[in-house]
Amino acid sequence: MRILAYGVAKDSTNEYIKIRKPTAIESLKRFCRAVVEVFGDWYLWSPNDEDIERILLIEKQHGFPGMLGSLDCMHWKRKNCPTGWVGQYAGRSGKPIIILEAVADYELWI
């Protein structure tokens, strides 16, 4: 989870939970596959024409006609950003950040 959430190196897991790099990679892959398997059928598929009509109607009722979803951006500070990348990922504050963007509708389709 730390690899996915914080972007830490795969081999750094050995230092604090004593799991070697290949095991960490395999565990991460299995976790991601499980998320897609459990949530993919509803949250991670492209809407068809009927779904788009329904989404547009819901958004119109909420005062946003013609909008398919809301863009959300999260600014995450990179605690362990490699020194060579600090300038590339510097935000307005001058500190390294990652901006995650997602579009979600009222029912949380991503």
Give the 3-state DSSP-derived string for 47-61, with helices as H, strands as E and coil as C: CCHHHHHHHHHHHHH
Amino acid at residue number 82: P
Distance CA 46, CA 56 (A): 15
pTM over 0.75: no
Residue 8 has pLDDT above 70, yes or no: no
At 48, list the tokens: 């068809």
Position 7 scores a pLDDT of 67
Q: Round to whole Å and give the CA distance between 43 and 102.
A: 12
Task: Give percent of the chain above pLDDT 70.
Answer: 73
Q: What number is the average pLDDT over the span 100-107?
A: 71
Residue 6 pLDDT more than 70? no
Rounded Cα gap, residues 58 and 37, in angstroms: 27
Both tokens assigned to 80: 């362990």
Average pLDDT of the chain?
76
